[in-house]
Amino acid sequence: MRTSTATPDITLSVSSHPKWVETVMNDFDSFLQDHADCERKASAMAMSFVAKYPDRKAMIPKLIATALEELRHFQQVHRILEKRGVSLTHELTEDPYVKQLVALARSGKEDRFLDRMLLAAIIETRGAERFRLVYEALEDEKLKDFYFKLYESEMNHGNIFLEMVENYFSKVEIQKRLKELVQAEGKILEGLKFRAALH
């Protein structure tokens, strides 16, 4: 088994249920379609932060780099879909997991900025956990290698969002709010239906 070099700074409050992995493996083409959609959304999210917070100059280069990497991931998943004869979805559907998480963000300029960045870090960390589970369940060696590399990349993205926000808030403040959001994320995850989707 491959050994990861990623060092997560976020400890999720709950693990994904084995039933989720089973659901994904039973309809892997649908999972790939959703995965492609998630990569497009992740790239757009990073660029939306650039548009919303142009004055936060310290984090803009990292946001641009993250957006480009997510777009490359989309390109890679699209190639896999093409080889399997599967099309992209016609529309980007609303993600119930992300919708509920974003609803946790507080109002107020600074509070909302902190929450949105921490939620992005949590989403990336959850994605990494699930990519690891997919990697472990797959038998195709090329797909296993692809999802292992994605696991490391997404874990690093979670860390990057934490690093970016440390430019603007104390570690004590970050960790306090992060703990609250991680607990809320776990409750949201446990309330979701199992789908052949990343979330």
* DSSP annotation of 17: P
Tokens in use for 94?
């609303």
Label residue 107 exposed, middle or buried (CB < 10 Å: 0-12, 13-18, 19+): exposed
Residue 128 · residue 155 · CB < 8 Å = yes
* DSSP annotation of 91: S
The pLDDT of residue 157 is: 86
How crowded is the C-beta side of 50, counted as CA atoms within 13 Å?
15
* Locus of tokens 């959609």: 37
Tokens in use for 91?
């529309």
Residue 171 · residue 108 · CB < 8 Å = no
* Cα–Cα distance for residue pair 156/80, rounded to 1 Å: 23
Q: Which residue numbers in the chain have pLDDT < 70? A: 1-8
Whole-model pTM: value is 0.93
* Cα–Cα distance for residue pair 155/128, rounded to 1 Å: 5
Residue 139 · residue 28 · CB < 8 Å = no
The pLDDT of residue 2 is: 57
Tokens in use for 39?
């990569």
Residue 12 · residue 121 · CB < 8 Å = no
The pLDDT of residue 156 is: 86
Tokens in use for 17?
């249920």
Give the dihedral sign, CA 8/10/11/17.
negative
* DSSP annotation of 77: H
* Locus of tokens 């403040």: 173
